[in-house]
Amino acid sequence: MKELTCFKAYDIRGQLGEELNTDIAYRIGRAYAEFLQPKSVVLGGDVRETSEELKMALADGIMDAGFDVIDIGMTGTEEVYFAVQHLKVDGGIEVTASHNPIDYNGMKPVRQGSRPVSGDTGLLDIKRLAENMPSRSEELGARIEENKVTRGEYRKLSILSEYVEHLLTYVDVKNIKPLKLVVNSGNGAAGHVIDEVERLFVKHSVPISFVKIHHEPEPTFPNGIPNPILVENRAVTSKAVLESGADFGIAWDGDFDRCFLFDEKGQFIEGYYIVGLLAEAFLAKNKGEKVIHDPRLTWNTIEIADKMQGQAIQSKTGHAFIKERMRQEDAVYGGEMSAHHYFRDFGYCDSGMIPWLLVAELVCLKNKPLSKLVKERIEKFPSPGEINRKVNDAQATIQRIEAIYSKDALLIDKTDGISIEYQDWRFNLRASNTEPVIRLNLETRGDLELMKIKTEELLAEIEKEV
């Protein structure tokens, strides 16, 4: 078989048709099972029209390899993470394309303990095996001819109530005061979890009410692909917060492994400041512990960790790298400015549900609206947010920028792209792993004017022809 182009650095993702279809999914299932030799595998899938058929093709491949499948239904990625740990099985795969276009789908595989299976931990081995697997029809014919009956077993199982009960262990519900929250599932997979959370809130007399928008799962995403990191996708949540008088708003991407927060004024809060907020919350309860952060924006997180007598440790951007470093350091929390948040008690995995629960508790404990909880930090370390630019050669652009800006720098770091620091400002420039785009992040020590000047200056340099 020709090369499978759906295998990426951290997961499997491709355009439907030649790049990803049920035959390829079958081969991937067989290859995954033969590589990991898992006794049982948890499978889940998001709301996309093709997710169910791809999931069942995966299941056939895994069972044809002789291993059992536990299908937990329509889920977000973290429900698979939870199920793998809760059921103590050997692996799991979520079928999802997250925030990719409608004609895409993909898979996020993990092994025992919900450890990532990425490019350097087995994904390339699975790719090679899948490329040499027999097709689904060829395998069926061989089984009939040889009268093979060693297939694994298939069963369905719901772990929703256990998963949501676990979510509530991250907060003390006695701390919660009456709150109204806007929740925007983007017609993705988050809605059924919010409904179960709501049921448990009633059961435990937790005084949180929800204003639900784009709540029902819709495979065609009639209100657009759920991706709140895009500025144009934020207005609907912001408007709902203002119109309902909510205490804050939450929006998720398709598989809800990222959550995005809006304050009571409807203002979008950059993920960077939520990382600082959660780092402070965890270090307050876990003195002297470690938190992990990515290199893009750092000063706020480092200062908070120092203030709380904790330790901030930098990791390369990307969930596989963050999770690996968290395990190495036994860190209590990890956060990326892209709205991924990782938790030791959640198997070092990322969750889009735990963060908003923690923020709700913080708002109540500190008796301050969300805008005031982040205001001081935003003013102290202002940032324009991540800015993307298309370039012909990302690495050449990074080298050119490094040559210009490294001369008087106090610190140069190449953990991920190039980070250059001065006394009053710093920036990180890195290439996208998936598209011909370069990503700029910049922050200053409280100087908005300097932030604007340096952002414009760097963008002008990036956009120059090499």
Lookup: tokens for 21: 């279809």
Contact 268, 244 (CB under 8 A): no
Cα angle 92-327-11, degrees, rounded to a multiple of 5 = 40
- Nearby residues of 455 by Cβ (< 8 Å), 6 or more positions away: 384, 387, 440, 442
- Nearby residues of 423 by Cβ (< 8 Å), 6 or more positions away: 410, 445
- Quickly list H helices, 343-447: 354-366, 370-380, 394-405
Cα–chain center distance at 95: 14
215 closest CA partner among 424, 47, 63? 47
* Strand stretches in 248-288, DSSP E: 248-252, 259-262, 268-269
Cα–chain center distance at 323: 11
Q: What is the DSSP letter of 314?
A: E
**What's the half-sphere exposure (Cβ side, CA atoms, 13 Å) at 397?**
25
How far apart, in Å, are the Cα atoms of 181 and each of 96, 177, 194, 246, 368? 27, 12, 11, 5, 15
Which entry of 40, 98, 114, 383 is annotated as an active-site residue? 98
Cα(124)–Cα(145) distance, integer angstroms:
32
98 is catalytic: yes
CB atoms within 10 A of CB 407: 7
Cα-trace Rg, the chain: 23
- The residues that are catalytic are 98
